[in-house]
Chains A and B, each alone.
Chain A
Amino acid sequence: MHSEKASTGLRLAAWGGLLFLHFPILIIFLYAFNTEDAAFSFPPKGFTLKWIGVAFARPDVLEAIKLSLQVACLATLIALVLGTLASVALYRRSFFGKESISLMLILPIALPGIITGIALLSAFKTLGIEPGVFTIVVGHATFCVVIVYNNVIARLRRTSQSLIEASMDLGADGWQTFRYIILPNLGSALLAGGMLAFALSFDEIIVTTFTAGHERTLPIWLLNQLSRPRDVPVTNVVAMLVMLVTMLPILGAYYLTRGGESVAGSGK
C-alpha cells in the first residue's frame, strides 16, 4: 500500500493542516508568558512567569477551579456507573429496542449542546429546582455517559468470550467471573473513559451556561472575562491551564487503549 510516495503538494497540505490545527494552541501557551499586560500585540515583547503567581492568588479563579473540579469528578463518577451498566447490557445480546437505546445515549453529544442545555433548564424551572452545582452535574453526566460507554463496549467486544467460559467451567459464579475476569479486563478502558469524561466536563460551556444559575465554572469564568477584557494576563494563564487539563487526558487515554481498534475519544 505504501509503495508509491506522496507528492510534495500532498505532503505540504497534510503537514500544513497539522500546523493549522496546532498554531492557535501554541499561541495560548505563548501569551500566557507574555510580559505585556493589556495588548494582544504580536510578536510578544518578552517573557515572564509572573502571571502564573498572580492568577493562582486570585480568589475568583481558585473558586472557579474548585467548582469545575468538583463538577467534573461527580459527573465522571455518574458517567462511569451508567456507562458501564449500559455497555454490559448492550454488548452481546440483541433485543427489542437495543438500537434506540444506543441512539439515545449518543443523542446528547450528537445534538447541539444548546438543545440539551435549554431542555434541562426548562425542566428544572418546571419542577422548581434552583440551578446550582446539582443541576450542572446532571447536565454534564448526561453527555459524559456515551464517552464511557464507547470505551467500555469496545473493550468488552475485544474481551475473549472463552475467558469467561473458562472461568465458569472452573466453578466461578457470575459475581466471581465479573470480579476476577471481566473487571480487571475493563480496568484501563474505564480509566481512559473516565479521563475523557473528566476532560469533557471540565471544559463544557454550552450546556453549563443554561444549568449553572449563578455558579461559575472555569469555562464560564473565562467567557465572562472575554466580554470584560480587564485582566488579560490572568485570563491567558487560566486559558493555558484549561487547555492542559483537556489535552493531557487524550494522551493518557490513547496509551491506555492502544492496541486493537482503539476508540478513545472518537466522537467527542
Chain B
Amino acid sequence: MSTLRSLSNLLYRRPNLYLALLLVPPLTWFGAIYLGSLLNLLWQGFYTFDDFTMAVTPDLTLGNFAALFNPSNFDIILRTLGMAVAVSLASAVLAFPIAYYMARFTSGKTKAFFYIAVMMPMWASYIVKTYAWTLLLAKGGVAQWFVQQMHLDGLLQAVLAVPGVGGSTLSTSHLGRFMVFVYIWLPFMILPIQASLERLPPSLLQASADLGARPGQTFVQVILPLSIPGIAAGSIFTFSLTLGDFIVPQLVGPPGYFIGSMVYAQQGAIGNMPMAAAFTLVPIVLIAVYLSIVKRLGAFDAL
C-alpha cells in the first residue's frame, strides 16, 4: 500500500507525467491502429493495379485518383451525393415538427417519453431496421396493402413511372431507397434540432410578438434562423452516413453502384484495393468540404 501511496503522490506532484501516463494507452490505440490504418489506406491509393494479371504492385501512380473522374465513376459519385443531399433535406423537414413540439410543448414526463421514443429507434439495430423495410416494401407487404386499402394504386404507379425517382416496384425504386435512408437517419436529425430549439430564449418570442409579429412571422424570422445550427449539425450525420452506406443500396432500390458499394466491390470481388482506396477518399473529401460549410452555419456549437 505504501508503494501505491508514494506512486500516487509522485503523480500528484508531476501532473504532466500523470497526464502522459493516462494518455499513452488511448493514443497508442488510436494513433497506431486507427490513424495508421487510414494513412496506409491512402498510401495504397497510389499503388498500381494491373487489369490483366489482377495483381497490385507498389509502383506509385495518380491513375486511380484520375479514374474517379471517368464518366461511369463520376456518375456513381453524383448519384450518391444527390441521395445524401435529398435525404438530409427530407430529414430536416420531417424532423422539424417533432423537434419543435418536443422543445416547446412538452415538459417533464412527456418530454422524457419523447426523448426515449426518439432514442430507441436511433439505437435499434441498423441491419434489422433495413430488414424491416424490405418486409414493408415487399410484394404483398404492408406498403402495398396500405396503398390498396386507400385505393391509391393509380397514384403509386404514376409516381413509380417518374424517371429518376421511380422504378418497377416500390422496393426496387429510387423512392423506396430514399424512404429507407430517411427513416434510418431521421432520429440523428431530430435530437440536434430539438437541442437548438431548447436553447432558444422564450423572451425572444415574446419580444417578437410584442413588436407585432404574427406567429407565422415569428416562426420564419426568429425561430427558423435560430434553429439553423441545429439543422446543420443534424445534417452532418444524415449527409455523412448516407454517403458511406452500402447495405441499404444493396438491399433496396434499383441496381447501380453507390460510393460505398463500389468500394466494397472493388476490394472484394475485383480485388483492386488501390481503386477502393481512391474511392474511399471521395466521401472523406466531400465530408471535409461539407463540414467546412456547416461550420459557418454554427453547426459545431450545436453538436
Contacts and interface: CB of A to CB of B under 8 A. Distances in A.
Interface of A: 1-2, 5-6, 10-11, 13-14, 17-18, 20-22, 24-25, 27-28, 31, 39-43, 78, 81-83, 85-86, 88-89, 93, 95, 101, 104-105, 107-108, 110-116, 118-123, 125-126, 138, 141-142, 145, 173-176, 178, 196, 199-200, 203, 205-206, 209-210, 219, 222-223, 226, 235, 239-240, 242-243, 245-247, 249-251, 254, 258, 264-268
A24 B132 CA distance: 6
A44 to B, nearest CB: 10
A197 B38 CA distance: 23
Nearest to A5: B105
Contact of A226 (B131, B190, B283): B131
Contact of B140 (A1, A14, A41): A41
Given A20-B183, A81-B25, A111 B244 contact: yes
Given A121-B267, A142-B29, 19 more contacts: A6-B105, A27-B142, A42-B141, A42-B142, A42-B144, A42-B145, A105-B30, A112-B241, A112-B260, A119-B280, A123-B37, A173-B8, A173-B12, A174-B9, A219-B127, A226-B251, A247-B120, A250-B119, A250-B123
Contact of A118 (B5, B22, B186, B267): B267
Interface in B186-208: 186-188, 190-191, 202
Contact of A115 (B8, B107, B120, B283): B283
B246 A21 contact: no
A90 B8 CA distance: 19
A119 B140 contact: no
Contact of B30 (A142, A196, A210, A267): A142
A205 B5 CA distance: 45
B41 A18 contact: no
Interface string B22-42: 110111011101111110110
Interface stretch (B65-73, B93-101, B162-170, B221-229): B93-101
Nearest to B251: A226
24 contacts: A6-B101, A6-B105, A10-B97, A14-B97, A20-B183, A20-B186, A25-B120, A27-B142, A40-B139, A42-B141, A89-B22, A93-B19, A104-B30, A104-B35, A105-B26, A112-B260, A119-B41, A122-B40, A203-B128, A219-B125, A240-B128, A242-B127, A246-B124, A266-B191
Interface residues of B, number: 94
Given A25-B121, A82-B26, A239-B128, A119 B244 contact: no
A250 B125 CA distance: 12
A108 B105 contact: no
Contacts of B243: 112
A4 to B, nearest CB: 8
Contacts of A264: 119
Contacts of B23: 85-86, 89, 101
Contacts, number: 262
B75 interface: no
Nearest to B198: A1
B33 A122 contact: no
B97 A115 contact: no
B268 to A, nearest CB: 9
A40 B19 contact: no
A258 B112 CA distance: 10
Nearest to B29: A82
Contact of A42 (B140, B183, B267): B140
A249 B94 CA distance: 26
A175 B5 CA distance: 7
B303 interface: yes
The 4 closest A-B pairs by CB, nearest first: A112-B244, A174-B8, A14-B101, A13-B97
A24 B126 contact: no
A123 B36 contact: yes
Given A18-B114, A226-B134, A40 B141 contact: yes
A10 B123 CA distance: 25
Nearest to B203: A1
A250 B134 CA distance: 25
A238 to B, nearest CB: 9
B90 interface: no
A264 B183 CA distance: 22
Contacts of B101: 6, 10-11, 13-14
Nearest to A258: B112
Given A13-B101, A123-B40, A108 B246 contact: no
Nearest to B267: A118
Contacts of B117: 18, 21-22
